């Protein structure tokens, strides 16, 4: 199998975000190579080193020096999984782009099935996790809850139990490249884009090596991005709470008045009830202020118009993101920052 000519667009781009994955990189490369070579078509592996603190970057650079099909986008610091995937899609030039985790929890062999569906005319082929191995019950439970909640309260139909492991057509990748929001929930963004979508199921394996990079704190943030990015529901539930509290007041005023006439003025008197009510109502108010704050902070993120990520260096890639210029303004691309 000849190596892809760099000036030509390969048929397939595999995008892998990488954060401290030194123990997985060689295996990832081996398995991707085996699977993709079996297609008999040109492919590239676009890796994004998301500020790894281990030897990941050195290992990727070594692979890139030996094999020009391996592209490396090296971030100036850790920007997070979703931005690493974004940069990978920005720099991918294939007719179909496959996003895959570097820890081999997503079996590369499934890509062949995705390609089949793509050739049958589907523009998004997502992978549905039938079973997840090697995860704590807490992660399984919260993930299940999360996907069902997102499904209920968001305005787009995000398929249940899917991650970012998916194949997207060039058309969809180009749409994603025009969506420059800062707090990203990429699986929601692909659903939002529409196109002909389908899913293939698989069993999600345990991590090959290393630990999850999604501690609870990051999971909560991720969930918030998903909700705020695709739903106004949290802003709108305030109105129901206000109705309920208002209704309670309307009922309580005459009822308490009458009861006081009957039972005497000590009924419900004293500071304790006042203090309790004050605490309950303030808790509601502060909670809703927090929710509003979440939306406002994200508005602020957009208004500042900072680049989404900063690239320190690239290997086997032109300086501009993607050989097929679209979506990202060239002038911006030249400054090595992508907004
Ligand atoms: N990742 C990344 N930046 C981060 C965290 C994770 O690029 O800040 C990558 C990581 O190397 C892996 C993928 O995103 O390829 C998924 O991360 P992980 O396996 O830790 O998530 P989990 O499978 O536990 O949800
Ligand atoms: Mg993983």
Q: Decide if pLDDT at 266 tops 80.
A: no
Name the CATH topology of 12-212+306-328.
Spore Coat Polysaccharide Biosynthesis Protein SpsA; Chain A (3.90.550)
Stretch among 30-34, 70-74, 157-161, 301-305 having the lowest mean pLDDT? 157-161
How far is ligand 2, taken at its centre, from the CA of residue 104, in Å? 7
Stretch among 66-70, 99-103, 219-223 having the lowest mean pLDDT? 219-223
Residues within 5 A (CB) of ion ligand 2: 101, 103, 105
Angle 300-189-47 (CA atoms, 0-180°, nearest 5)? 95
pLDDT-based confidence at 212, cuts 50/70/90?
A: confident
The whole-number pLDDT of residue 54 equals 94
Contact call for residues 134 and 207 (beta carbons, < 8 A): yes
pLDDT-based confidence at 102, cuts 50/70/90?
A: very high
The CA distance from 199 to 325, in Å, is: 29
CB-based burial, 182-197: b 16+ in 10 Å, e otherwise: bbbbbbbbbbbbeeeb
Q: Decide if pLDDT at 37 tops 90.
A: yes
Mean pLDDT, rounded, of the chain: 87
Q: Decide if pLDDT at 119 tops 90.
A: yes
For the residues 231-250, what does the mean pLDDT come to?
90
Find the ligand nearest to 52 CA.
1
**Which secondary-structure segment (H or E) carries 15?**
strand 12-18
Task: Indicate the domain borders of the chain.
Answer: 12-212+306-328, 233-304
The whole-number pLDDT of residue 4 equals 44
> CA dihedral defined by 323, 326, 329, 335, rounded to 10 degrees?
-20
Contact call for residues 20 and 53 (beta carbons, < 8 A): yes
Residues with CB under 6 Å of ligand 1 are: 17-19, 21, 50, 78, 80-81, 84, 101-103, 105, 212-214
Find the ligand nearest to 24 CA.
1
Q: Decide if pLDDT at 279 tops 70.
A: yes
The whole-number pLDDT of residue 142 equals 82
What confidence tens digit (pLDDT) does each residue in 122-139 have? 999 999 988 777 777 887
Mutation to probe ligand 1, out of 52, 81, 185 (largest number of atoms < 8 A from CB): 81
Contact call for residues 97 and 173 (beta carbons, < 8 A): yes
The CA distance from 199 to 184, in Å, is: 22
Contact call for residues 53 and 67 (beta carbons, < 8 A): no
The whole-number pLDDT of residue 269 equals 73
């Amino acid at each position: 199998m000849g190596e892809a000519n760099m000036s030509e667009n390969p048929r397939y781009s595999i995008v892998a975000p990488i954060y401290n994955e030194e123990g997985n990189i060689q295996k990832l490369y081996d398995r991707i190579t085996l699977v993709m070579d079996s297609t008999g078509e040109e492919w590239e592996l676009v890796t994004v080193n998301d500020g790894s603190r281990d030897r990941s970057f050195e290992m990727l650079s070594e692979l890139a020096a030996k094999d020009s099909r391996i592209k490396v986008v090296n971030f100036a610091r850790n920007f997070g999984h979703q931005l690493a995937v974004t940069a990978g899609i920005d720099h991918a030039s294939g007719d179909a782009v496959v996003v895959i985790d570097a820890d081999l929890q997503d079996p590369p062999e499934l890509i062949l099935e995705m390609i089949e569906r793509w050739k049958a005319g589907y523009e998004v082929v997502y992978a549905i996790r039938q079973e997840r191995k090697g995860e704590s019950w807490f992660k399984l439970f919260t993930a299940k809850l999360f996907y069902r909640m997102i499904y209920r309260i968001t305005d787009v139909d995000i398929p249940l139990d899917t991650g970012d492991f998916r194949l997207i057509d060039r058309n969809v990748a180009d749409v994603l490249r025009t969506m420059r929001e800062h707090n990203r929930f990429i699986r929601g963004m692909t659903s939002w884009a529409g196109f002909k979508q389908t899913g293939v199921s698989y069993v999600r394996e345990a991590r090959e090596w290393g630990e999850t990079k999604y501690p609870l704190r990051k999971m909560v943030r991720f969930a918030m991005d998903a909700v705020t990015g695709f739903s106004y529901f949290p802003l709108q539930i305030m109105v129901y709470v206000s109705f309920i509290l208002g209704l309670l007041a309307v009922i309580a005023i005459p009822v308490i008045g009458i009861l006081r006439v009957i039972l005497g003025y000590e009924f419900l008197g004293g500071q304790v009830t006042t203090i309790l009510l004050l605490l309950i109502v303030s808790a509601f108010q502060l909670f809703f202020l927090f929710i509003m704050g979440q939306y406002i902070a994200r508005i602020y993120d957009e208004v500042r118009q900072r680049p989404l990520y900063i690239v320190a260096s690239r290997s086997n890639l032109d300086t501009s993101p993607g050989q097929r210029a679209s979506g990202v303004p060239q002038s911006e691309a030249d400054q090595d920052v992508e907004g």
